[in-house]
A = this chain, B = another copy of it.
Amino acid sequence: MGAKTTYKHTVDTQNVDFTLRATVDSICQAIFNTAGVDAMGRGFGLDSLSENKRSWVLSRFAVEMDYRPKQYADYGVTTWVNTNTRMLSTRNFELHNSEGECFARSVSQWCMIDFERRVPINLEEMYDAFREHMCDCPSPCEPPRKVVGVVPTQQVVHKVVYSDIDFNCHVNTMRYIGLMIDMLPIDYMREERVFRLDIHFMHECRLGQTLTVGYEQRENLSLFEVKADDGTVACRASIEWR
């Protein structure tokens, strides 16, 4: 069985907002970087997958944060994979401050695609390669929720530009998160708030497309839906303020 592994991060100057605390998207970036490095070290990272024209694609993601750490703070991201179904691999994360206290928990679900044939890979076929890396520990929080029925009351139009895209020329995950958080009243970020973010991805968006980011506030829930110009839903997300 595989073990949990911990990677160190620091809140650098470029990771903070006007309150001098880490932005949500910079913490998510640290989580995804950790996933990438850990998978690479275990032989199923993007580097070795791409040799077979395969890639991991993030399907759903949830993160709970008790607070956002301050500028220059060190923190650790501990990660482990505990479930592989036919279509989804579940990777978990726990974030600890330098005193060892857990301040954030995350569960991510990934599918593997053949990017030439544009089809998903049955992960059960790869079970032998994965077995030794699976860790028999429960997820640290509820798995990502499905977000439905968003009825936007505010909308922002965003043309996908150079700085939004990743090496696949798709809008990158942190950019979606950033676009959504930019729509919130500024007080949600000015004050320290405990929250849970759920996001699920349906369609990739590309350079030159025009996105409509819709936002609805429903009591303690901030709901988001990103649509492409052809009407397809790119992703939906919710932030539950606790």
Contact = CB atoms under 8 A, between A and B. Distances in A.
Interface in A150-191: 161-163, 165-169, 174, 178, 181-184, 186, 189
Given A12-B33, A13-B33, A14-B33, A178 B207 contact: no
Contacts of A162: 17-18, 181-182, 184, 186, 189
22 contacts: A13-B29, A13-B33, A13-B36, A14-B29, A14-B33, A14-B174, A16-B167, A17-B163, A18-B162, A18-B166, A18-B167, A18-B169, A19-B167, A20-B167, A23-B163, A25-B163, A161-B183, A162-B182, A162-B184, A162-B189, A163-B178, A163-B181
A165 B18 contact: yes
Interface in A12-63: 12-14, 16-20, 23, 25, 29, 32-33, 36
Lowest 4 CB-CB distances: which A-B pairs, in order? A161-B182, A14-B29, A162-B182, A18-B165
A29 B16 CA distance: 13
Interface size of A as a range: 20 to 34
Contacts of A29: 13-14
A17 B161 CA distance: 11
Nearest to A16: B167
A33 B32 CA distance: 24
Contacts of A19: 167
Nearest to A208: B186
A16 B33 CA distance: 13
Given A18-B169, A25-B163, A163-B182, 9 more contacts: A13-B29, A14-B33, A14-B174, A16-B167, A17-B165, A20-B167, A23-B163, A162-B186, A163-B181
